[in-house]
Amino acid sequence: MKSAFFFQLTGLLSQIWVKVTGYSLMAVVTALAAIWLRAFIPAELEVKLGADAVETVLSIVATSMLTVATFSLGIMANAISGAADGATPRATALLLEDHVSQNALATFLGAFSFSLVGIIALQIGVYEDGGRIILLGGTIVVIILIYVAFIRWVNLLRSFGRIPDTLNRIETAAEDALKRRLDHPFLDCHPYTAADDDHGDLIALCPDQVGFVQHIDTTKLQACAETHDVEVLVERTPGQFASLNRPLAYLRTKAAHLDGDALDELTGCFTLGAARTIKQDPQFGMIMLSETAAGALSPAVNDPGTAIDVLRRALRILLCWDTRPAPEIKHDRIWMPGLIPEGFLRDLIRPIARDGAGIVEVQHVLQSILLDLAQSRPDVFASAAKAQSREAYERAEAGLTLQSDKDEVREIANKLAHLRVKADPPAAL
> Between the CA atoms of 45, 46, 49 and 50, what dihedral angle is there, to the nearest 10 degrees?
-160
Radius of gyration of the chain (CA): 28
Helix H, strand E, coil C: the string for the chain is: CCCHHHHHHHHHHCCHHHHHHHHHHHHHHHHHHHHHHHHHCCCHHHHHHCHHHHHHHHHHHHHHHHHHHHHHHHHHHHHHHHHHHHCCHHHHHHHHCCHHHHHHHHHHHHHHHHHHHHHHHHHHCCCHHHHHHHHHHHHHHHHHHHHHHHHHHHHHHCCCCCHHHHHHHHHHHHHHHHHHHHHCCCCCEEECCHHHCCHHHCEEECCCCCEEEEEECHHHHHHHHHHCCEEEEECCCCCCEEECCECCEEEEECCCCCCHHHHHHHHCCEEEECCCCCCCCHHHHHHHHHHHHHHHCCCCCCCHHHHHHHHHHHHHHHCCCCCCCCCCCCEEEEEECCCCHHHHHHHHHHHHHHHCCCCHHHHHHHHHHHHHHHHHCHHHHHHHHHHHHHHHHHHHHHHCCCHHHHHHHHHHHHHHHCCCCCCCCCCCC
pLDDT recorded at residue 425: 46
Number of neighbours of residue 39 by Cβ within 10 angstroms: 9
pLDDT recorded at residue 244: 87
pTM of the model: 0.85
Side-chain half-sphere exposure of 341, counting CA atoms within 13 A? 29
Query: Are the C-beta atoms of 336 and 373 separated by less than 8 Å?
Result: no
Q: Which residue ranges of the chain lie beneath pLDDT 50?
A: 47-49, 423-429
Q: What confidence tens digit (pLDDT) does each residue in 302-322 have?
A: 999 999 999 999 999 999 998
CA distance 170 to 287: 10
CA distance 317 to 308: 15
Q: What distance, in Å, lies between the first and last C-alpha atoms of the chain?
A: 17
pLDDT recorded at residue 1: 58
pLDDT recorded at residue 412: 96
CA distance 45 to 130: 8
Query: Are the C-beta atoms of 329 and 188 separated by less than 8 Å?
Result: yes
For the purposes of burial, counting CB atoms within 10 Å of the CB of 12, is it exposed (0-12), middle (13-18) or buried (19 or more)? exposed
pLDDT recorded at residue 12: 74
